[in-house]
Structure 1
Amino acid sequence: MAATAAVVVLLLALGGGGLLVVAAGILGLVVCAAGLWWFVARRGLMRLLGAFVAVAAPVGVLVFYARSGLWLIALISSLCWAAAVTCGRAALHRARPPRSQRPVRARRPKRAVLIMNPKSGGGKVARFGLVERARRLGARVILLDPSAPADVGELARDAVEDGADLLGVAGGDGTQALVAAVAAEHGLPFLVISAGTRNHFAMDLGLDRTDPSRCLDALADGEEIRVDLGDVCGRPFVNTVSFGVYADIVQSPEYRDDKTGTALRLMPDLLAREGARRLDARVDDTRVADQQALLISNNPYVSPDELGGGGRRPVLDDGELGVIGIRVENAAQAAELALRGAQAPGLTVTTARRVEVTAGEPRLPATAGGEEERIPVAAGGEEERIPVAVDGEALWLRTPVVCSVRPRALRVLLPRDRPGVPPAAPPVDWRRLLALACGRAEHTAPGEAVPHRRTVPLTGTRRRPGRVS
C-alpha cells in the first residue's frame, strides 16, 4: 500500500511536476556517483572537482525541489517509499524467520588457555583488566610481547600439548583465526574475546564489543555452538579474504598509521592506471574475469552494501562462501552501479563452495580498432604471487589462490548472557512481497525449519534475577 501510495502521489502531481521530482532525483544520484568516482580515481584538480560535484549534486536537487515548489511532493513520496521498504522487510522477515541454531550447554573448562595481545584495540586488554579477570576464573593467560612477535599458532599448539581443554584469544580477527584453526584441528572449544579494533567475528556471534570482559563470562556459565571456518591456501580465516584494490592498499607500510590518506593516495593507480592488473576467478564452475576487487567471506553478507563497519552475516554455519566482485572502469559505470545496485554488470554477487583466484592479464589502452589490448602473462605465471588481505592481514600468496570453507568445523564457546545481534533486514524482493500480499507465498511459522538458511543464535539468554555467576 505504501509503495502504491508513493506512485499515486507522483501520478497525481504530474501536472505539478511529478516527473520532475523523479528526473531530478535520478540525475542527482548519477552526478553524485560520477563525482565520487572522480574523487577516488583521480588526483589534483580532478579530485577536487569530483568532491565538489559529489557534494553539490544532492544539495542542488534539494534546492531545486525547494525553489520549484516540489519539495512537498518529493517529501511525501520519499516517506511513502521509506515506509514501503520498512514494512516490506518486516513482512519478508516474518514470512521466513531465521532458524536459530540451538546452543548446547557447555561444561566449565578446567584448563583454559587464553592468548592476549596487549596492543590490540588500543590497549583493551589492560583497560578492561582482562588478564586479572581471566586468572580469577581459572584460566591460564599467555600475554604476547609486542617487542618480540610470536607465532600464535605455535603457542596454541604448545598449549594443547600441555593439556589445554579450551583455547581463546583477546585480539584482532587475524589472530583469532590462527588460534581458531588449532582449536578446530584438535576439536577443542574456542573463546572469542572482543579486544580487537573492529571485532567483526565477535559482532556476528552477538558478543559485547564495548566490554570484552563480558566474553569471559563463558568460562563460568557458557554455551556452545558450531560455526564454519574459512580456508585460503591452508590458512584459516573467520571473516574475509580480499583481493585487488583493498589488498594492494593494506600492503603499504603507511596504511596502519593513516588508512584514509594511504587509500586516497593509492586508489588512482589501482583503479584507473593503464596496464593495471585485474583478477580472474573461478567461482565453483563459473568464470568471473577482469575484476578490480574480489571479496570472499566466510558465509555471505546480507547484501553488498553491508560490507562496511556495520555489515553483518546472519548465517555463520551454512557451509558457503560469499563472493563479491567489482569492476568499475569509469564514471559512467560508477553511475550505473549507483542506479542499479546489485543488478549492475560491474557488480557480481553470489555464493560458492570453492573459489580459485588468479591474476588476470593487464589491460592496455584501446587499439585503433577499438579493442583493448591485453598483455600476455609470462610463462610460469601460475607461480606468480599476488597481494591478499586475510582478515585484514597483508600477505602475498602464490596463484592460483584457492578459498574454501570447512562446514561447522569450529566449536565456539559463548556466554549465556550476551547482547546479541538484531536480525538482519532481508533484501526487498517486490515479486515475493506481491505474492505475500495476495496470500500465494509459502509461510514458515516461527520455530519451523528453513530449508535454505540456518542462522547462529543472535540473541543470548538473559539471566534470571538473582542468579550469580
Structure 2
Amino acid sequence: MRSASSRAPVLWARSALLALLGSVAVPLVVAGLKSVLWVLVGVAGLVLTAVGVWWALAHTGVVRAVGTLVSVAAPLAVLALYAVHDLLWPACVSLGLWVLAVVAARIALTPAGADSGRRRARGPVQPPRRPWILMNPNSGGGKVARFHLAERARAAGAGVVLLDPARHQDVAELARRAVAEGADLLGVAGGDGTQALVAEVAARHGLPFIVIPAGTRNHFALDLGLDRDDPAAALEALTDGDEFRVDLGFAADRVFVNNVSFGTYAAVVADPAYRDQKVRTTLRELPDLLTGDRAPSLRMRAGRTRAEGLQALLVSNNPYRRALDVDRPGRRVCLDSGRLGVLCVHVGGTAQAAQLVRGPGAPGLRRLTAREVVVETDAATVPAGIDGEHVMLPVPVVCRIVPGTLRVRVPRHRPGSPVARPAADWPRVARLALGR
C-alpha cells in the first residue's frame, strides 16, 4: 500500500491534468469553436505588444512614441474586445486554471527531498579564531549602520574594516593584508562586486568565506539561502555555522560570483549617469546600442557551439533557471554544478522582436551551459559588467569556471535555497497521473 508521500505526486499530476483540461473547456463551453478565434486575438495582442516595446526601446522620436502607444493600446484593446463580447471572465478563469495546471505539474515532477538545497552543507564547523570582515557603509542605502553590523560583528569576535567612501581603496589588497596578519576567515558586508573580490582571496588561500547581505540586491546571498531582510543573521555563521563549497567564475582574470554581461547592458552600465538615473540613461542609450552605429556585435564560442552578431551575452556562475519563472525569477538551482550558464540575445528587427512572445523558444534567445566560453569582438577591448561593476576587458575574453574552489560558511539556521522544480513536462505528468 502506497504511503501518503508516494501518493502526493500522483495526486498533483492528476490535479494538473484536470486544471489543464478545465482551462481548455471553459472557453469552449462559453464560446464554442469561436474560442479558437479569440485565442488568436489574444496572441495577436501579445505580438503587437512585443513589437511596440521593441520600437520604444530601439528608436527615438515619433517611432518611440508610436511604439509606446502600441505597447499600451494592444493589450487594452484585447481586454476591451473580450469585455464587449462577455468573454473577459472566461478568459481570466481559463488563464487562472492554466497557471494552476503548470504549478501543479511542476510540483508533481519535483523529486522528493529537493526542498532546501542544504544537503550540500558538511555539517557544523569549528568557529574561526581570527575572523575578518570588510564592510561597505554605503551599500544597500546604509544597511551596515541601520542593522548595527559592525558592532555585532565585533561582539562576535571579528575584526572589522570599514571602507572609506572618500578614498579609492583596493579591496583585494585589504583582504590579502588581513590574511598576512593571520585572519582565518574572510567576510564581506556589501554588494556582490565587493564580495567577489574578497571571495577570490579567500579561495586562493583556502580560507572560509561568509556573506553578509548588506548590498542592494545580493543575488549571491539569495542563492546561498541567506535571509536578505535580516543581514545580521548571517553573523551567526561565526559561532554556529555550516560549510560547503561553491564554484567561482572568471572573466579573464576577474572573478565573479553571479555573472558577467557583455554588449548592450554592459555599455549602458558604463555611462556615469547610470548610477543616479538608471531609467533615463537606459532609454537614452538603448536606441543607438540596439540599432545605431554603436550597436555591439559579439561573437561567442563554447566548445563546438558558435554564435555571431549578438547584441547581448550573459555568462553566469552556474546556470540561471528559466528567465520566465514567475515563482523564482533570476535564481540559480545550485552553485556547484561546475558549469557556466550562457544566454545569447540577438534581435535583428521587428519580426524577431515579435517572436519573443514565444519565450525561451524564441529564435533570438539561446541558452546553453559550458565550462569555458570565449567572447570576441572586432575591437581590442570590450565593456563588461562583472557583478554589476563596469570594467573594460581585452579581447578575446575567456570566461571559465573553477568548481568547488570557495569554502562558504553560512548559519545553520537559515531560510534555505529555492526548490529546484523542473519544467512542466506534460507527457511525464500524464504517465504519472496514470500510475505509470
Fold shared per TM-score above 0.5: yes
Of 62, 77, 80, the residue aligned with 1:45 is: 62
> Are residue 386 (structure 1) and residue 405 (structure 2) matched?
no
| Secondary structure of residue in 1 paired with 2:129 | coil
Cα 1:294/1:308, change in 2 over 3 Å = farther
Of 392, 397, 402, the residue aligned with 2:393 is: 397
1:91-130 → structure 2 map (5 Å cutoff) = 91-94=108-111, 97=114, 100-130=119-149
Letter in 2 for 1:240: N
Distance in 1 of aligned mates of 2:109 and 2:144 = 41
| Secondary structure of residue in 2 paired with 1:115 | strand
Distance in 2 of aligned mates of 1:275 and 1:421 = 40
> Are residue 23 (structure 1) and residue 8 (structure 2) matched?
no
Name the stretch that deviates more: 182-191 or 304-313. 304-313
* 1:125 Cα offset (Å): 0.9
Cα deviation digits, residues 26-60 of structure 1 (max 9, x gap): 01111111111111111122222212211111111
> Are residue 347 (structure 1) and residue 343 (structure 2) matched?
no
Of 180, 194, 203, the residue aligned with 2:199 is: 180
* 1:95 Cα offset (Å): 6.5
Distance in 1 of aligned mates of 2:260 and 2:326 = 12
Distance in 2 of aligned mates of 1:225 and 1:116 = 23
Cα 1:162/1:206, change in 2 over 3 Å = same
Q: Counterpart in 2 of 1:89?
A: 106
Identity %: 52
1:50-69 → structure 2 map (5 Å cutoff) = 50-69=67-86
* 1:310 Cα offset (Å): 4.1
Distance in 1 of aligned mates of 2:341 and 2:198 = 23
Name the stretch that deviates more: 206-215 or 428-437. 428-437
> Are residue 70 (structure 1) and residue 66 (structure 2) matched?
no
* 1:272 Cα offset (Å): 1.1
* 1:73 Cα offset (Å): 3.0
Of 342, 357, 365, the residue aligned with 2:375 is: 357
Of 410, 416, 429, the residue aligned with 1:433 is: 429
| Secondary structure of residue in 1 paired with 2:422 | coil
* 1:277 Cα offset (Å): 3.1
| Secondary structure of residue in 1 paired with 2:157 | coil
Cα deviation digits, residues 279-315 of structure 1 (max 9, x gap): 0000222111111100001001111235999411111
| Secondary structure of residue in 1 paired with 2:347 | coil
* 1:151 Cα offset (Å): 0.9
* 1:434 Cα offset (Å): 3.0
Q: Counterpart in 1 of 2:9?
A: none
- The answer to whether the 8 Å contact 1:39/1:47 transfers is yes
Distance in 2 of aligned mates of 1:116 and 1:306 = 33
> Are residue 320 (structure 1) and residue 314 (structure 2) matched?
no
Of 396, 404, 412, the residue aligned with 1:408 is: 404
| Secondary structure of residue in 2 paired with 1:107 | coil
* 1:205 Cα offset (Å): 0.7
Cα 1:179/1:332, change in 2 over 3 Å = same
> Are residue 34 (structure 1) and residue 51 (structure 2) matched?
yes
Distance in 2 of aligned mates of 1:42 and 1:308 = 32
Distance in 2 of aligned mates of 1:351 and 1:301 = 10
Name the stretch that deviates more: 232-241 or 306-315. 306-315
**Which blocks of at least 5 consecutive residues in structure 1 are unaligned?**
360-376, 441-469
Q: Counterpart in 2 of 1:136?
A: 155
Distance in 1 of aligned mates of 2:52 and 2:112 = 40
- The answer to whether the 8 Å contact 1:229/1:409 transfers is yes
Distance in 2 of aligned mates of 1:117 and 1:312 = 25
Q: Counterpart in 2 of 1:419?
A: 415
| Secondary structure of residue in 1 paired with 2:79 | helix
Q: Counterpart in 2 of 1:283?
A: 302
| Secondary structure of residue in 2 paired with 1:254 | helix
| Secondary structure of residue in 2 paired with 1:105 | coil
- The answer to whether the 8 Å contact 1:302/1:427 transfers is no
> Are residue 216 (structure 1) and residue 212 (structure 2) matched?
no
> Are residue 228 (structure 1) and residue 247 (structure 2) matched?
yes
Cα 1:260/1:42, change in 2 over 3 Å = same
Aligned length: 417
Which protein has the bigger helix share?
Answer: 2
Distance in 2 of aligned mates of 1:85 and 1:395 = 41
Distance in 1 of aligned mates of 2:356 and 2:419 = 27
* 1:413 Cα offset (Å): 0.7
- The answer to whether the 8 Å contact 2:202/2:406 transfers is yes
Distance in 1 of aligned mates of 2:242 and 2:65 = 53
Distance in 2 of aligned mates of 1:126 and 1:45 = 47
| Secondary structure of residue in 2 paired with 1:276 | coil
* 1:404 Cα offset (Å): 0.7
Cα 1:14/1:199, change in 2 over 3 Å = same
Distance in 2 of aligned mates of 1:139 and 1:396 = 35
- The answer to whether the 8 Å contact 1:17/1:70 transfers is no
When the two structures are superposed, what TM-score results if normalisation uses the length of structure 1? Answer: 0.85
Distance in 2 of aligned mates of 1:181 and 1:307 = 32
- The answer to whether the 8 Å contact 2:321/2:329 transfers is no
Letter in 2 for 1:89: R
Cα deviation digits, residues 219-247 of structure 1 (max 9, x gap): 11111111111111121100000000000
Distance in 1 of aligned mates of 2:47 and 2:112 = 35
| Secondary structure of residue in 2 paired with 1:79 | helix
- The answer to whether the 8 Å contact 1:312/1:424 transfers is no
| Secondary structure of residue in 1 paired with 2:273 | coil
* 1:319 Cα offset (Å): 0.4
When the two structures are superposed, what TM-score results if normalisation uses the length of structure 2? Answer: 0.91
Letter in 2 for 1:201: F
